Each structure stands twice: as structure tokens, then as C-alpha cells.
Amino acid sequence: MKLLQKISPDLNESGTRIISARPEDSERCSEILYGSTLGKRYYPTFSMLKKAVAAGIRNDHFFLAVNGGTICGFIWFTAKGAFALYPYLHIVVVDDHYRKLGIGKKLLDYYEEECLRLGGGLKGRSYLVVSEDNVGAQNLYSSMGYKMVSELPGLFRKGFNEILMTKTILKAGKK
């Protein structure tokens, strides 16, 4: 793995752009994910993770948070991955060095806009799963209106429980 890029001291959420990922971004995205608890828990090797990320960039909806030319995080989702009907948020991850700057929320806001755009309507639904022990992510999702549906024991790894969450997404100004 390459060393992480130098962190800009003036990094902030407002200077962050969301752009489509390209195949050449898979290395940096893999580094970010592998550096997280999520990456280490669910992808036993960097090689396995890198293949999954490259496939995600090729086949799914994959967007980057970029600030000052540095990839700070990403969001990866499938348009009809939940019950073959609804968007499913596969992964949202922000590099540890860039957390608590609003980048995760900005990625989620972008994801929800994309859900509405892809659905062609004023209302949509989204699903995601989050690790039972990832309280920070649970708090972020809850603050954005996601509700717990069910606990899923050992869904991806034995001994680790997941929480299924959902949200009805409305176009701004609609109730």
C-alpha cells in the first residue's frame, strides 16, 4: 500500500466535492476502507478488498468525497440492491484523518439525492445495514432519519450482528 496523502490543514466539509469514481481511484479507496474497522472485519486481505472495490467502481454507483485533490472518503451503493426494488447503501467510509468534518453526512446527502434521481420521483426508500457495535455510524444514520427495522445476527460474520435500517426519502420541500 502507498502512504496516505498529506492532510490539508484547511480541510472542511464545505470545500468537499462529490464526484464519480474512476478505475484508477480503486487503490486509494481500498486504502481508506482497509484502514477502517469495517474493512478489516469484512475483508480478510487487502487483495480481496481491492478486487471488491474495483468491481464496485465498475458495476455499481460509487462516488468519492474529494477535498483539495485528496480522496477523503467514498460511498458505494446499488440502485436496486434491497429486495430487488430499493437502493441499498453498501458502504460509506471516511478516512480516519478526515472524520468529524461533515464528510460522511455530505456523502449520505448525495446518496439520497441520487436515490430520488434514479427513482424518478419525489419520494423514495433506502436500506442499509450497520454493525451493532458501530455506534457512531448508527448515530449519524439516526440523525438523518433512518430507523431500525431489525437486528440481523451473524449476517456477514459469525459473532457480529448487523442492524437493518431504512428511511423514506422525500424531495426537499415535500412532506
Tell me if 8 is assigned to some domain.
no
Tell me if 2 is assigned to some domain.
no
Q: What's the rounded Cα separation, in Å, for the pair 74 and 143?
A: 20
Q: What is the pLDDT of residue 174?
A: 54
Q: For 87-108, how does the pLDDT look when each residue is reduced to its tens digit (9 = 90+)?
A: 999 999 999 999 889 999 999 9
Q: What is the pLDDT of residue 7?
A: 38
Q: For 128-173, how does the pLDDT look when each residue is reduced to its tens digit (9 = 90+)?
A: 999 999 999 999 999 999 999 999 998 888 888 999 999 999 886 5
Tell me if 9 is assigned to some domain.
no
Find the domain containing 146 and state its range.
Answer: 15-170
What is the sign, positive or negative, of the torsion defined by CA atoms of 127, 93, 114, 49? negative
Tell me if 72 is assigned to some domain.
yes
Q: What is the pLDDT of residue 15?
A: 85
Q: What is the pLDDT of residue 11?
A: 45
Total of domains in the chain? 1
Q: Please check whether residue 8 is in contact with residue 68, taking contact to mean a CB–CB distance below 8 angstroms.
A: yes
For the cut 90, the answer to whether the pLDDT of residue 118 exceeds it is no
Cell for 103? Answer: 464528510
Nearest CA to 43 out of 54, 55, 56, 30 is that of 30
Q: What is the pLDDT of residue 2?
A: 34
Average pLDDT in the chain: 88
Q: How confident is the model at residue 53 (pLDDT cuts 50, 70, 90)?
A: very high
Tell me if 175 is assigned to some domain.
no
Tell me if 47 is assigned to some domain.
yes
**Which residue shows C-alpha cell 455499481?**
60
Q: What's the rounded Cα separation, in Å, for the pair 175 and 39?
A: 37
Q: Where are the beta strands (DSSP E) in the chain?
A: 17-20, 61-67, 70-82, 86-94, 123-131, 147-157, 160-170
**For position 44, which CATH number holds?**
3.40.630.30
Q: What is the pLDDT of residue 28?
A: 97
pTM of the model: 0.87
Q: What is the pLDDT of residue 173?
A: 55
Q: Residues of the chain with pLDDT > 90: what percent? A: 69
Tell me if 108 is assigned to some domain.
yes
Tell me if 90 is assigned to some domain.
yes
Q: For 6-39, how does the pLDDT look when each residue is reduced to its tens digit (9 = 90+)?
A: 334 344 456 899 999 999 999 999 999 999 988 9
Q: What is the pLDDT of residue 4?
A: 34
